[in-house]
A and B are shown apart, each in its own frame.
Chain A
Amino acid sequence: MGDHAIEIQNLVKRFDKLTAVNDLNLNIKKGEIFGLLGPNGAGKSTTINMILGLIDPTSGRVLVNGIDMQKEPAKARNEMGIVTQETVVESELTAEQNLMIFGKLYHIPQSELKKDINFALDLADLTNFRHAYAGTFSGGMKRRLETAKSLMHAPKVLLLDEPTTGLDIQNRTKIWNLLRKINREQNITILLTTQYLEESDQLCNRIGIIDHGKLIALGTPSELRQKIGMSNIIEVSADKDDLQKVATIFKRAGLEPQVLTNKVTAPGGNNATEKIEKLIKAITANKIKISNISMHEPTIDDVFLKLTGSEVRDTEGDFRSARGNMMVGRR
């Protein structure tokens, strides 16, 4: 069925009055690493849950490798490996038992199960921890086990919901390398969501940004950067009360400022260096105290900012976020 690992067609999800996903169309090409970005409450989680077949769309459909998730959920799920937001390894099972149970749930035949478990342990770099309880693992080890677990049944598509949230740089890099490796060596298509924009910049072939339930940008990281002009970004950090004054100065210098929680930023245009000089003069003339002024190359953060008008939204309001925030001891 063509070149697409995942096809999202006219997807709509309404909860009572709220439209979380509003006629979303998106195709993930086979073999790519695709990053889905969006501020909290943009409809990202809802979209992911519909791709996973956990909730039914109001209308529209999701195809995984050409198989309709609604009509043949079991078959569609077999095509897909999933790493959810909450790291779900079972603390009270060993690494091997974790893999064994999931292998069985994916109906891997008994004869192949042992081989697949060994493969997964090797991939996760956990062969030496085969008989250790997953509860004793570090965050990074758990995430690797989880990722390897989701690949045991040889899926064509791997879906990761914020795979590196809460991990330190070292572990994050390990996960990135793991993802690149499986993408390259096993030709597995990867769809991931992330809060870390530089992550998508480094890892993804293409990025889609959704806001208010719609796709508002789609392209390679460099295409998206071009969208806001290749110019450098000027950034001034100052006291909260002074930000509006700084913004006025930006405007007088012919810039289009955006006021954030503790800084004002704007694309610098062609003669960014001259503009910085102007800004510094005006700021000193107005006796505004600033803590930093800088210029940098545009990042996906800047693209995101320009398109959605916000940083990764700081308000807690992810609609029906399924993330359990209470850890309860089991038994």
Chain B
Amino acid sequence: MSLLGDTSTLFLREMLIFKKNLRVNLIRSLIFPIIFILLLGSFGSTPKNVPIAVVNYDNGASALNFTNLLQSGSSVAIVSQTTQQEAATLLSEGKIAAIVVIPSGFSSGMDRNIYVYLDNSQPESSEVAASTVDSTAAQTGATAVASEVSGGGRSLVSVVSNYVYGASSNYLSFVVGGILVMVASFGAVFTSGFTLLSDRELGNLKAFLTTPINKFSILLSKIAYGTFQSILSAYIGLAIGLLYGATIAAGILGFLELIWIVFLVGLGFSALAIALAARMKQLQTYALVAQTLTLPLSFLAGAFVPVTLLPSFLQPVVAVNPLYYAVNAVRDIMIKGSLPISLLVSTTLILLSFTGVMIILAFFLFNKSSKEL
């Protein structure tokens, strides 16, 4: 009879089984995002009261004003006002993350440069110090010249600093955005494909195939269930991320857009999972293929590292990776603060066509395999 009717019956079955194993399913949905957000998110949590030393060669009012301003927030704490040599020692001992040098001509206006020496071995702390100095300098009309000290500071080497994210960006939001997309794709691949294969192994699939249903409803119900399970994980992940401190720059509308994009990722990757599992017989094979496919796809989407840092030979893979477009949209929403409507439409179209292609492929492969048995 109707494809949709059969699909909803089979989806009902999945949900009854889901309900029976509710606790296990919820724990599973929780664990993955929690681990990733705590693990990766902690790298990016902004340190407070970063210890720095100030070497003041100028004793004028402007220099005093500058140091006061520097301390006014709770980002950095000046632990020592000392000579450059002593400060260098403190830096090499890891007691401070940065040295701020105010040159002697600062107050008189002869040298408006502020020299910052950053301890590269403490990237989070030195980044906070650098951005604080930057903003303080901007307020006083001075220019901050950053130098990074590598290897614990034995030699003071000047390096042009290359910040991946603007000083105001929130690393946690960056990571949570990537994790959302990754959780949605993983959840999908590890739900729908697995249940299809276990149904095949347990003989359930054969039992369904001997009923007068439209056999594609089996696939559609699996895709629906995979989508459900994956977006559940991802939404739980989003909630955890927001509680943990991530923000959605685009506000309520952004939240809705985020939910939509994550849904599309879950849908597309459930369809991919079913296409993969359509002809497979063994769970182990499937697990292997699914893992080797999804993890690299997350990395090649810029979920954790910006894709611009990837080598050029991988760029074509990035361009055809649907996750890349999803991650991009999520970043726009969470960090940049708005997702242009054209980008929302194009991302939607890309993910939907990916889903469509996968469903057709799954139907084709499943049709073949069910006739061979």
In the complex, the number of residue pairs spanning A and B with C-beta atoms less than 8 Å apart equals 99
List the A residue with the shortest CB-CB distance to B191.
Answer: A331
Question: Judging by beta carbons under 8 Å apart, are B20 and A77 in contact?
Answer: no
Contact code string B74-112 (vs A, CB < 8 Å = 1, else 0)? 000000000000000000000000000000000000000
Contact code string A70-93 (vs B, CB < 8 Å = 1, else 0)? 000111011010101111101011
Question: Judging by beta carbons under 8 Å apart, are B210 and A328 in contact?
Answer: no
List the A residue with the shortest CB-CB distance to B12.
Answer: A101
| Majority secondary structure of chain B interface residues (helix, strand, loop or mixed) | helix
> Which of B120-128, B197-205, B231-239 lies at the binding interface?
B197-205
Question: Judging by beta carbons under 8 Å apart, are B17 and A328 in contact?
Answer: no
Question: Judging by beta carbons under 8 Å apart, are A330 and B202 in contact?
Answer: yes
| CA of A53 to CA of B21, assembled, Å | 34
> Which of B246-254, B264-272, B365-373 lies at the binding interface?
B365-373
Question: Judging by beta carbons under 8 Å apart, are A331 and B25 in contact?
Answer: yes
| Chain A residues, CB < 8 A from B195 | 330-331
Question: Judging by beta carbons under 8 Å apart, are B212 and A77 in contact?
Answer: yes
**Residues from 256 to 283 in A contacting B, C-beta threshold 8 Å:** none
CB contact under 8 A between A105 and B198, given known A78-B212, A84-B206:
no
Question: Judging by beta carbons under 8 Å apart, are A88 and B16 in contact?
Answer: no
Q: Is A52 an interface residue (CB 8 A)?
A: yes
| Chain B residues, CB < 8 A from A326 | 201
| Chain B residues, CB < 8 A from A82 | 207, 210
Question: Judging by beta carbons under 8 Å apart, are B212 and A331 in contact?
Answer: no
Q: Is A133 an interface residue (CB 8 A)?
A: yes
| Chain B residues, CB < 8 A from A87 | 203
Q: Is B26 an interface residue (CB 8 A)?
A: no
**Residues from 16 to 66 in A contacting B, C-beta threshold 8 Å:** 49, 52-56
CB contact under 8 A between A328 and B373, given known A52-B210, A77-B210, A77-B211:
no
Question: Judging by beta carbons under 8 Å apart, are B373 and A106 in contact?
Answer: no
Q: How far is the CB of B314 from chain A (nearest CB, A)?
A: 35
**Residues from 341 to 373 in B contacting A, C-beta threshold 8 Å:** 370-373
Question: Judging by beta carbons under 8 Å apart, are B212 and A90 in contact?
Answer: no
| Chain B residues, CB < 8 A from A322 | 203, 206, 373
| CA of A80 to CA of B212, assembled, Å | 10
Q: How far is the CB of A154 from chain B (nearest CB, A)?
A: 13
| CA of A148 to CA of B6, assembled, Å | 21
| CA of A101 to CA of B373, assembled, Å | 24
CB contact between A330 and one of B5, B17, B207, B213 (< 8 Å): that residue: B17
Question: Judging by beta carbons under 8 Å apart, are A93 and B373 in contact?
Answer: no
| Chain A residues, CB < 8 A from B206 | 54, 84, 86, 88, 322
**Interfacial residues, chain A to chain B (CB-CB below 8 A):** 49, 52-56, 73-75, 77-78, 80, 82, 84-88, 90, 92-93, 97, 101-102, 104-107, 133, 320, 322, 324, 326-328, 330-331
Q: List 29 A-B contacts (CB under 8 A).
A: A54-B209, A55-B372, A74-B213, A75-B212, A84-B210, A85-B203, A86-B202, A87-B203, A88-B207, A90-B17, A90-B204, A92-B21, A97-B16, A101-B16, A102-B211, A104-B9, A104-B12, A105-B9, A105-B212, A106-B212, A107-B1, A107-B212, A133-B20, A322-B373, A328-B283, A330-B17, A330-B198, A331-B17, A331-B195
For the complex with contacts A90-B13, A327-B201, 20 further pairs of A-B residues with Cβ separation under 8 Å are A52-B210, A54-B210, A74-B1, A77-B210, A77-B212, A80-B210, A84-B203, A86-B206, A88-B203, A90-B17, A93-B17, A97-B13, A102-B211, A104-B12, A105-B211, A106-B211, A322-B203, A328-B283, A330-B17, A331-B194
